[in-house]
Amino acid sequence: MAEPVLVKLTQDGRKVEVIDGWVCLAGAREADHVIPLVDHPNRQAIARAAPGATHMAGRLPLTHEQAAIVQGAMAAARREFDASPAGIAQRIRLAVWAKTAAEGAE
């Protein structure tokens, strides 16, 4: 298990970190991927509420630099093999999602 990677502190002082491939807020999992703001369905409201945000991780707005930190930490976490039950469950979940998405595209 890798050390948490600090991304930023929220205005109220909570840590946004990448822990085991997840973006976490105060230690609680928020997202397992990052979405560019231009691809987000609520981009206009997010841009008004969080000027400077270029990406979203769940409900967390990120700047370009913060998104780069997150993506680097997530890539590093994927390179580590997690043989724990949670790691195995995560890989199965991702495989099922990928298969479902591929079937939906047909």
Domain ranges of the chain: 5-81
Give every CB contact of residue 53 below 8 A, 6+ residues apart in sequence.
Answer: 37, 46, 47, 61, 62, 63
- The Cα 90–Cα 59 span in angstroms is 20
Q: Is the pTM of this model over 0.75?
A: no
58-88: pLDDT as tens digits: 999 999 999 999 999 998 887 766 778 887 8
pLDDT at 102 over 80: no
Residue 91 is predicted with a pLDDT of 82
Share of the chain above pLDDT 70, in %: 93
